[in-house]
Amino acid sequence: GAGVSQSPSNKVTEKGKDVELRCDPISGHTALYWYRQSLGQGLEFLIYFQGNSAPDKSGLPSDRFSAERTGGSVSTLTIQRTQQEDSAVYLCASSADRYSNQPQHFGDGTRLSIL
């Protein structure tokens, strides 16, 4: 597709379950970012990928959060043993490379609700 695609659009799950969120970046974009947007808050950086490697995981809030990227393309963000505070919109962005003059293009996000 022409833009960043995220799935599912919405996810409702019970506390304690694991969830997987998917991001399909713009074709050819080597840099991929995950952000989290909690209610009434700005976006909070989670993790950055360059190709398949993740040189910056500094924003992951706990060891329940992990992410991978395969083939330099699709990325999956996994949250294990979900808690209610994990409820948020998770946004993915990609850019042609990591250099500052390349804008980040965002997907529509996944709204995660933990019951």
Partner 1 sequence: AQTVTQSQPEMSVQEAETVTLSCTYDTSESDYYLFWYKQPPSRQMILVIRQEAYKQQNATENRFSVNFQKAAKSFSLKISDSQLGDAAMYFCAYRSVGGATNKLIFGTGTLLAVQP
Binding site for partner 1 (CB under 8 A): 31, 33, 35, 40-45, 48, 55-56, 59, 89, 91, 93, 95, 98-101, 103-104, 106-109, 111
Neighbouring C-beta atoms of residue 48, cutoff 10 Å: 19
Joined together, the tokens standing for residue 8 give 């599912």
If the CB atoms of residues 3 and 16 are measured against partner 1, the closer one turns out to be: 3
Measured CA to CA, the distance from residue 37 to residue 49 in angstroms comes to: 19
Shortest Å, Cβ 104 to partner 1: 6
Evaluate whether 3 touches 109 at the Cβ level (below 8 Å). Answer: no
Shortest Å, Cβ 35 to partner 1: 8
